[in-house]
Copies of this chain bind each other. A is one copy, B any other.
């Protein structure tokens, strides 16, 4: 009954969320060695729950920990970012295919409305790269959950997207091609509405592949540096 949403039921969960967002936003720089006591009085908790949260973060690949040498935020290279997009390509392709078979008409309609809202945001507030990124995230989020594939959604939402968002913050509006991405999103939703799983998979893979090539190009041009 009582759902005080902001209240994490346990301190360890709280610490986990705080640490995760701190890593994603870059508040904790990659490669930075962080001491436990330092984290303790930063987030105002004790070492017990903290260590539990650190274990979870480590298991998710956001931290690396050497036995008695402390933990440090994972630092990833440009190549690894590209590999991440390759994984997204096949996994979100699968998600799109299954979503075409399993999403309800209601969900698809809501997704279309979401795209309308995104379009308005792009037209009106041209510079709001952050909200564009959030819109993009929302789109992929809905398809992942719409696949009705529990483990797939868990891996995408609980692992890959956090990694990608980490880079997003770091590279600041890496996407940079809002109109094109929106058009691709529309085509994907059309395929979903027609229940054409194969086409949805193909379009989603091409969409993510295009995003990857876009980032890769910018990195090679030196516009983006990691």
A154 proximity list for chain B (CB < 8 A): 61
Main secondary structure of the interface of A (DSSP, over half): helix
Q: Of residues 114 to 139 in A, which have CB atoms within 8 Å of B's CB atoms?
A: none
Q: Of residues 90 to 108 in A, which have CB atoms within 8 Å of B's CB atoms?
A: 90-91, 93-94, 98
**Complexed CA–CA distance, A87 and B48 (Å):** 35
B80 touches A151 (CB 8 A): yes
The residue on B at minimum CB distance from A148 is: B83
Known: A48-B48, A83-B149, A151-B83. A59 touches B59 (CB 8 A): yes
CB of A84, distance to nearest CB on chain B (Å): 6
B83 touches A87 (CB 8 A): no
A192 proximity list for chain B (CB < 8 A): none
How many copies, total? 2
Q: Of residues 33 to 47 in A, which have CB atoms within 8 Å of B's CB atoms?
A: none
Interface pairs (27), CB distance under 8 Å: A9-B67, A9-B68, A10-B67, A12-B55, A48-B48, A51-B52, A52-B55, A55-B55, A55-B59, A56-B58, A56-B59, A59-B59, A59-B60, A61-B151, A61-B154, A84-B151, A86-B94, A86-B149, A86-B152, A87-B91, A87-B151, A87-B155, A89-B94, A91-B91, A151-B163, A155-B155, A155-B159
List residues of A whose CB falls within 8 A of some B CB: 9-10, 12, 48, 51-56, 58-61, 67-68, 80, 83-84, 86-87, 89-91, 93-94, 98, 149-152, 154-155, 159, 163
